Amino acid sequence: MFENIPKLVDNTLRALAQTGYMVVISLAVSIVLGGLLGLLIYLTSEELFLRNRVINNIMNVAVNIIRSIPFLILMIFLLPLSKLIVGTKIGPDAVIVPLSICNTAFFARLAEASFSEVDRGVIEAFVASGAPKISVITKILFPEAFPSFVKNITVTALSVLGYSAMAGLVGGGGLGDLAYRYGYQQYKTDVLLVCIILLIVLVQLIQYTGDGIVSRINKKR
């Protein structure tokens, strides 16, 4: 059943490495930019901080527009931008650009939700005591939202992994590309099955690691 696998070991390992590369880089960008964007959306919606309806609405609309476009369409649309930034429209580097943009918007919404879950009464108490707003953000908002933040990083990592599998449709490399070229176009079912198994293993590892980190954080609180 797996007669094609020995011939494609190098291809499979390369595809696995490409998937890992795309996920790690895109996730890092999404966490940094999405976390900052989510924080700004939260702060500009709260009277206790920097409420500004105009800026808040602009950021909300931008996030909603990106999230409303199916990733495959967004990826194709952003290929010229990938060419401008990384110098190519194919390969893992090219796919990282749309992956990062898509999941930045996704994580921004999750980060905003994490900050919104923080007990408003605690925040109001610190603000009333005269504490600087930056201190409230760093000493109350971030620590209280951190467990939820980590959970959402796990969710985003799984999202990035899932979207990275679509990279094969535009020659982006990774397990999706391997499954598409060999499993679909060449009818090598065993290759397709191996790609599915590897993706399942990656999902389980990400979920297990994320749950473990959250559990440790909660025990220390």
Q: Which of 81, 109, 107, 102 is nearest to 93 (CA)?
A: 81
Q: What is the pLDDT of residue 89?
A: 87
CA angle 15, 16, 17 (to 5 degrees): 90
For residues 51 and 34, which has the higher predicted lDDT (pLDDT)? 34
Q: What is the pLDDT of residue 4?
A: 63
Binning pLDDT at 50, 70 and 90, where does residue 184 land? confident
Core vs surface per residue 85-123: b (16+ CB within 10 A) or e: eeeebbbbbbbbbbbbbbbbbbbbbbbbebbeebeeeeb
Q: What is the pLDDT of residue 6?
A: 66
For residues 136 and 107, which has the higher predicted lDDT (pLDDT)? 107
Give domain limits for the chain. Answer: 6-220
* Domain topology for 6-220: MetI-like fold (1.10.3720)
**Cα of 141 vs its chain's centroid, Å:** 22
Which residues, 6 or more positions from 1, have their beta carbon under 8 angstroms from its beta carbon? 190
